[in-house]
Amino acid sequence: MIEINLLPEELRVVRKTEPSQAVPVTLILLVLNAVLFSALLIVTAVNINRSFTLGALETRLKGLSGEQLKITAIRQKIANLKSTNALFSPLVSDRFLWAKKLNRLGDLVIPGVWFRSVSFEKSAPDVVVPSVKSKTPAPAAKRCLKICVSVISFSHDEMTLVGNFMRNLKTDEEFFKDFQNIELESVVRRQIAAVEIMDCTLLCMFKQEILL
């Protein structure tokens, strides 16, 4: 329904309007600033935490890198030693072992045979006039193990004892494997009081391929 107020203005009743419940702009700005500040603090804290974590990881990685370098260096040294051992192993395995050979020589001696001396000798090779067309290599120097013994036998069978001793040397595979032959170089008889002594010299000729 439409109401028409026909009263004069001075008699009209003025109706007071209630103020609106609008939120102040200042309060909104303060809240927004607080939220933004809180978010900034959170982001800053996260970045600082990440920085510390990254630094710790870098320090740990540097430590691991140092240890890894040490391990790599050790492995390289081991590889170098193995390669060096592989290089010299054939030479060492082919070399003549004096201690082992002399020990075996002592095991093969028989009663009545006494050692006077054992020595290594190297003589000049036989002189051969080379031919212009000849491709034969020059002869190598002769090398031998010289064994000087004295033989005493009250049954006067000194030569038999020497023969048995030489047979022991030739038939023993461990001793004879480095030699190509064993020769009786000299025999000298002498007498001390009533005892006859026979001095013998044996030459054990080395193979050419044996390294000494």
Indicate if 41 and 54 belong to the same structural domain: yes
Report the distance separating Cα 117 and Cα 105, nearest Å. Answer: 12
Is there a domain that residue 132 lies in? no
Indicate if 37 and 50 belong to the same structural domain: yes
Q: How confident is the model at residue 46, as a pLDDT?
A: 66
Indicate if 85 and 121 belong to the same structural domain: no
Indicate if 63 and 111 belong to the same structural domain: no
Q: What is the DSSP letter of 187?
A: E
Q: How confident is the model at residue 109, as a pLDDT?
A: 92
Is there a domain that residue 90 lies in? yes
Q: Which stretches of the chain drop beneath a pLDDT of 70?
A: 1-25, 27, 29, 31-33, 35-37, 39-40, 43, 45-52, 54-55, 57-58, 60-67, 69-74, 77-78, 80-96, 124-140, 212
Q: How confident is the model at residue 187, as a pLDDT?
A: 94
Indicate if 66 and 164 belong to the same structural domain: no
Indicate if 202 and 102 belong to the same structural domain: yes
Report the distance separating Cα 158 and Cα 161, nearest Å. Answer: 5
Tokens 């060096």: give the residue. 84
Indicate if 105 and 168 belong to the same structural domain: yes
pLDDT tens digits for range 45-91: 666 666 667 667 667 666 666 667 666 666 776 676 666 555 555 54
Indicate if 89 and 145 belong to the same structural domain: no
Tally of residues, the chain: 212
Is there a domain that residue 135 lies in? no
Indicate if 102 and 197 belong to the same structural domain: yes
Structure tokens at 19: 């103020």
Q: Which structural domain range is residue 116 located in?
A: 98-125+141-206
Is there a domain that residue 134 lies in? no
Is there a domain that residue 10 lies in? no
Domain count, the chain: 2
pTM, rounded to two decimals:
0.51
Q: How confident is the model at residue 38, as a pLDDT?
A: 73
Neighbouring residues of 143: CB distance < 8 A, sequence distance ≥ 6? 120, 121, 122, 123, 205, 206, 210, 212
Q: How confident is the model at residue 91, as a pLDDT?
A: 45
Q: How confident is the model at residue 161, as a pLDDT?
A: 94
Residue 15, classed as helix, strand or coil, is coil
Indicate if 80 and 29 belong to the same structural domain: yes
If phi over 0 gives left and psi between -120 and 50 gives alpha, with beta otherwise, what is residue 142?
Answer: beta
Indicate if 81 and 106 belong to the same structural domain: no
Is there a domain that residue 11 lies in? no
